Amino acid sequence: MSTPTSLQQKLDASGEWATELAELQLRRNQALNMGGPEALAKFKASGRLNARERIAQLVDADSFREVGALAGKGHYSREGQFEHIDPTNAIVGTGMVDARKVAIHADDFTIRAGSSEATIADKWIYIERMAHQLRFPLIRLVDSAGGSVKLLLQLGGTKIPEYPSWPANELLKTVPVVGVALGVCAGQGAIKVLSSHFSVMVREQAQVMAAGPHVVKQAYAQDIDKNELGGHMVHRKSALVHNEAENETDALNQVRRFLSYLPRSVFHTAPVLPVSDDPNRADDWLKNAIPYDRRKIFDPRKILSSIMDQDSVFEIGRYQGGSVITALARLNGIPVGVIANDPKVQGGAMTNQAAYKMERHVKLCSLFGLPIVNFVDQPGNQTGLEAELGGTLLGATRVGEALHDCKSPWVSILIRRCFGMAGALHAPKYGEALNLRYAWPSARWGSIPIEGGVMAAHKSEIESAPDPAAKRAELEAYYLNMTSPFRTAEKFGILDIIDPRETRSILCDWVNDAWERIKTDRISSGSAV
């Protein structure tokens, strides 16, 4: 695998400055040695790519332009002549990903385990400032053990904990930021992964945590390995890391795919790709996608794949807050954000994790100018003691705040249920975004599901009836007739009821108008397009 840097260029070291040019090439070559042959061989034996190999696999061929390659600890003879240099464990620079410029910061684990204490902070801070000021995405390839007690040997004493001044918040408001966990990511390494719009970790290989097992054992007398402490199964529950990857190649492919849906910055529009998928394609099976029997579930991912451009759905956070699906996709080549409920998990109800997942997805799409489509099958907030202890209602409140601030054009497709407070959060209502609401004939909505509502409202009548079960069924049938979506359509409470097979055509027509609105918004604000 080639090394992605101009450091390899062999230029003639002749002329008046031959000595200096030769030293320059020597220093560049030593930077390429990283932690040295022994450390590189040991790292390779672990089955992992080193930092420069990771960059080479991520960027377009020969596009990486390194910054600060000569930084490190120089060693000199008694006469002051240069002998060799120990490079820093941070490799930074710019490159092209699918012909679009990005900034890259990669930890070199072969030098002091990528420790944040063994690098020159100004180096990686500079590339992050460059990404912010020149407005291109930032990718962090993180493989860092965090702080090191060996810093005491350098300083001769301790220091008050603080992080360098780096434009983390400004970056998150301006350009897409990606964090990739490729090994142990502890302390500041964990923050670099998590302070991002999209994060991905390699299963079994990567861990994201505040501190490692040795620190935990000393502090809490707990024997726990690093995967139990910060592996991918932990973060399926924590929801801190968005996605998992089978291996490093998969992780880097996910990075490329995520960025393909997003603009260079908030001042640009996302790339629109040519598409051969017919915008008027109508898959016939969609007419039966929702079972007539309300007790049966369906596959929402199959529905999304059918309606969006073929092979365009990129799911984010699949294993977290599973009752809601969040994804990026395309309609007629235009990138969009997608939200859907999954009835196979918690019946599709809004849990605290699902609320957090929906909130961050809405914010991502609003920030970077992506239209949003929500496929609604929402039975309501999760209920019960566990839900109350987990603060589910607070999560739902935060979703409401995100919707209010959302500036993205929005369409809701009500495909089955839409009930209660969570149902009301299917779209913005009073903010800038105009919500277009369509319903399939299978949709039903209200303040409370009929089944539970009938029992609550007619409890005494049902219990006193000669046949309580029959009475309850009679009342439910009566109320169900009143919940027909056609009755709502009569009052213009729903924009339209559509045949499920018409959905793609309607959305592709809408997204063209939505995209024009997004582009003109950027022009009117003085931003580049």
User: pLDDT (tens digit, 9 = 90+) per residue, 426-445?
Assistant: 988 765 666 789 999 999 88
Distance CA 410, CA 337 (A): 9
pLDDT above 90 coverage of the chain, percent: 52
Tokens representing 215 are: 């620190």
The 3-state DSSP class for residue 36 equals: coil
Tell me the pairing of strands 243-245 and 198-202: parallel
Largest CA distance in the chain: 109
Is the model's pLDDT at 133 over the cut of 50?
A: yes
Q: What is the pLDDT of residues 89-117, one digit of tens each?
A: 889 999 999 999 999 999 988 887 667 65
> Whole-prediction pTM value?
0.89
Q: Nearest CA to 289 among 499, 511, 509?
A: 499
Lowest-confidence pick of 153-157, 210-214, 407-411 = 153-157
Contacts of 135 (CB under 8 A, 6+ apart): 174, 175, 264, 265, 267, 268
Lowest-confidence pick of 206-220, 246-260, 413-427 = 206-220
Lowest-confidence pick of 15-24, 145-154, 491-500, 507-516 = 145-154
pLDDT at 19: 87
Q: What is the pLDDT of residues 13-49, one digit of tens each?
A: 778 899 889 889 889 888 888 888 888 898 888 889 9
**What HEC string does 235-250 produce?**
HHHHCCCCEEECCHHH
Task: State the amino acid at position 225 in one-letter form.
Answer: D
The 3-state DSSP class for residue 406 equals: coil
Q: Which domains occur in the chain, in start order?
A: 6-260 (3.90.226.10), 284-440+498-524 (3.90.226.10)
